[in-house]
Amino acid sequence: MFESSTVVSDVASNREFHPESHPESHSESHSDSNSPSALHPAIEVDRLSKNVADGSAPSGRLAILEQIDFTVQAGTTLAIVGASGSGKSTLLGLLAGLDTPSSGAVRLGGTDIFALDEDGRAALRKARLGFVFQSFQLLGHLNALENVMLPLELRGDGKAREKALHMLDRVGLAARLKHYPKFLSGGEQQRVALARAFVTEPPLLFADEPTGSLDAVTGEAVIGLMFELNQAHRSTLVLVTHDTSIAARCQRTITIAAGRLLSDSASAASR
């Protein structure tokens, strides 16, 4: 699981991403086909590698990811699968700029994210990315409505309450607005998390094992809702999962094994 606490701190920060401050970056909007970012793939990964110090390894370094290359077009649903320890969550963390690579590049909508400093990457995440975590990552001192309103309020959106109410209604929680996370079931908490992720209409959505803490029936309902919302908002979805049935719902599946890209294939969902 990648570092979700970093994303929570991004949401609570006042850092703003200004494309004009970064010559290699482009517009935030994913719905404007005339924007510069619309001319670029949603994600470009170029020879991405990550290794860490390991005294037991012959080279003194342990390779977590090696020479990963792929491109994702806007609007695609992509599953990243692999065994535990394969490097799939590390890859997702690098795609989101939550970790830094040993070598290689990641470009989101044309922006080279590792050409930005830490504050720049945090601001980009806040402006362009949505996240759904296995552990929900709701703020316990805020009720459901307040959790969904928060990212909008931090952007100064005057319609934060209206938009949050609409999104909570979309996920079937109109009657649970004032409930705090500890009084919500796991499925309800993940629905709040989905509402929070989609309410800002992010061009990119990253989901890390979103059903990992849910029973099978609840997990299926949550996944169905996530794909429904993603289709409605036309986001690019990148999903890490160990569940082959969830991966099969994506248009494309990348398999990671021992830190390498083992396969990259279209699924029945894309045919």
pTM above 0.75, yes or no: yes
CA dist 59 → 27, 51, 54, 55, 62 (Å) = 42, 11, 8, 8, 8
- What pLDDT, on a 0 to 100 scale, did the predictor assign at position 24? 45
Of 156, 177, 168, the C-alpha closest to 198 is 168
Give the single-character DSSP code of 184: S
Q: What sign for the dihedral angle of Cα 129, 134, 139, 144? A: positive
Of 232, 137, 152, the C-alpha closest to 199 is 152
Listed as own residue / partner, the contacts of 259-266 with beta carbons closer than 8 Å and 24 or more positions apart are 259/50, 259/63, 259/64, 259/65, 259/66, 259/86, 259/87, 260/65, 260/66, 260/67, 260/68, 261/68, 261/69, 261/70, 262/82, 264/70
- CATH for the stretch 4-270: 3.40.50.300
- What pLDDT, on a 0 to 100 scale, did the predictor assign at position 188? 95
Residues 6+ apart with CB under 8 A from 240: 79, 80, 81, 88, 89, 91, 92, 207, 208, 209
For residue 220, the one-letter residue type is: E
- What pLDDT, on a 0 to 100 scale, did the predictor assign at position 26? 42
CA dist 257 → 180, 218, 260 (Å) = 40, 29, 5
Residues 6+ apart with CB under 8 A from 102: 49, 50, 51
Q: pLDDT by residue for the chain (271 residues), tens digit each?
A: 555 555 555 655 555 555 545 544 443 444 444 454 567 899 999 999 999 988 887 888 899 999 999 999 999 999 999 998 899 999 999 999 999 999 999 999 999 999 999 999 999 998 899 999 888 899 999 999 999 999 999 889 999 999 999 999 999 999 999 999 999 999 999 999 999 999 999 999 999 998 888 899 989 999 999 999 999 989 999 999 989 999 999 999 999 999 999 999 987 666 5
CB-based contact 235:74 (threshold 8 Å): no
CB-based contact 53:61 (threshold 8 Å): yes
